Amino acid sequence: QSQLVESGGDSVQPGGSLRLSCKASGFTLDYYAIAWFRQAPGKEREGVSCISASGGTTNYSDSVKGRVTISRDNAKSTVYLQISGLKPDDTAVYYCAAPISPNYMGNVCALTPHEYDWWGQGTQVTVSS
């Protein structure tokens, strides 16, 4: 009934840009911090970015800092991840996630997978020539 659905992944050339979307179905994102993670073949799932429920706090991993912007549109129950300057190392399945309870993280967010309980199915980003 309640789920997160990612979209926007594509196959692009290095230096390109994408905007990924994470849309809630069956519930509203208003009171949830949302995080983006990614997982490449043979690698651990890593945090990319997160945004607090209010949108007032955002965090970015060092690997993407300066190249990504996370934002949310609560009216559309959607969180976006804008990525520019894509590199082959960005190739991965990108997941969005929410904690099990609203307001769990208050005014902050975290990039640790264990803090999140609800996960989307992922969207594939492939960066190659």
Q: Are 81 and 49 in contact (CB under 8 A)?
A: yes
pLDDT of 113 higher than 90? yes
| 64-71 mean pLDDT | 96
Helix and strand totals (H; E) in the chain: 0, 11
d(CA 124, CA 92): 6
Name the more confident of 101 and 39.
39
Which residue reads 């990108």 in tokens? 94
Could you tell me the two tokens for 8? 């926007």
| 94-120 mean pLDDT | 91
pLDDT of 1 higher than 80? no
Could you tell me the two tokens for 74? 């609560």
